[in-house]
Amino acid sequence: MKKKQWRLKYIICVFLLTIFVIPIGVTKIIITSYESYQMEKKKDRDDVSGITWIKDVVLAEYDKWEDEPWQQHVLQAAKEKNMQISLRSAQGNTLFSNIKLLGEYPFYQIDGELSYQYSNYEVRHVEIFNNDEHIGSLYVRDMNKPLFPKTSWFDEWGTMLCISIIVSIIIIIMSLFIQKNILKPLSSLNKATLLIAQEEFSVAIEQSSIQEMNSVLISFKGMAEELSRLRKQRMNIEKERQFFVSSIVHDLRTPIFSIRGYLEGINKGVANTPEKLQRYLHICLNKSELLEKLVTNLSQYSNILESISIRKTEEINLTELFTSILEDTHLDIQNKHITVNHTLNGQVIVHGDSLLLHRSFENIINNAIRYTPIGGTIELQVVREMDLVKVCITDSGDGIAEEDLPYIFEPLYRAEKSRNRNTAGLGLGLAIVEKIITEHKGTVRAYNHREKGAVFEVDLPHSL
């Protein structure tokens, strides 16, 4: 399942939103809820304070004001309700009171300083009338409502605390996100860089949910894989170079040593008859011609491979192409009494360079003729498939040694048994074949037939 990728700009926007907007919003909700709770609590406290009781009992039952049992009952009830009251008659005489003040009782002229001096609670003054007749005065001190209430720690620090907690949670979440999607991938990238510096290209890199970061990681991993491929290619090139040099040395040394040996024999008088001298000179001439051929082919080899490129694309009928090749090689086939079995009928069309494909398949057929014994057979099959054409050329020779199969398309490679120049070429033909087929976006491979002989199989697309 593909991991969801996030754009960096969206992540920054979400971070800014969460770090500024969400804490303020959540804090506002918490504070509003707390204030609503306090208001409900205050409302309940107002109900408990006894304002309704004072109206219904103390003020309404004015005919019992001078009744001492009633006074005691009221004072006891006021004490339970945490209230202080003082009731005076119309003449100003105190009928009953549980308000304790120092000095004269202030007549509802209370400023902040005076109230704070006597008490931290507000005193309310109510004039009482009955049918427009002034019958008394009531002073009420609600001990449940201080003028300067003590604030709780949440009232002072609640907002800051809520914002701090929310911001801390957001920072922790963002830190974990950054740790996982930025810091860890960067750390693995740093380790991978150190490993690549030591030519160790098999590196493991952490994935990231940030799209831009993940693109960098994927590109870096692709670079490491490409460097690994280039290193393998370099090693293969170096191996081929060493083999190339050793092949050149071997191929040049053999005729040179032969020429030198025969010339030393002539110099020492070993060729003491005209016939022997003539034979020595003839051998030296043949070896020098072989040497010249080797040097010429080697000097032209790089140019040969570089010159193999499709210059003209055209429609090619493989039936006609193989018929032409078999006519060109008719004498070689006839001299070895080889039977060629083929399935060439109808039109088998591909697109490509006819000259290059002619050269490629001619090299394979010449190779089959070379290794097919006298009286042997060569099988040629051309099969049309859905999106390609398959060509199989099978000889009846001894086949190819298993240890040589991986290398037969390398330049100058020849199996040890084939180093005799009477049967083997310079080891360039199959390298040219592979180059041409690759240029046509096809593939070529070689393997041994289960009964006898070597099989060369070529797959070509119908069109380039």
Q: What are 84-117's pLDDT values in tens digits?
A: 888 888 887 888 888 765 334 444 343 433 333 3
Are 336 and 369 contacting, i.e. CB atoms less than 8 angstroms apart? Answer: yes
How does strand 349-352 pair with strand 314-317? antiparallel
pLDDT at site 113: 39
Residues in the chain: 464
- What amino acid occupies position 205? I
User: Phi and psi for 202 in degrees, rounded to 5?
Assistant: -85, 85
Q: Strands, DSSP E only, in 133-253?
A: 133-146
Residues of the chain with pLDDT under 70: 1-12, 14-24, 26-27, 31, 34-35, 37-51, 100-122, 145-159, 240-241, 243-245, 247-248, 250-251, 297-308, 411-428, 464
Closest-CA residue to 208 (of 8, 388, 438, 460): 8
Distances (CA, A) of 329 to 138, 247, 365, 371, 396: 139, 29, 8, 14, 17
Q: From CA 431, how far away is CA 436, in angstroms rounded?
A: 9
- Which residues lie closer than 8 Å to 266 by C-beta, 6 or more apart? 277, 280, 281
pLDDT at site 140: 81
CA dihedral sign of residues 181, 183, 186, 190? negative
Question: pLDDT tens for residues 54-72?
Answer: 777 777 777 888 888 888 8
pTM for the whole structure: 0.45
pLDDT at site 9: 62
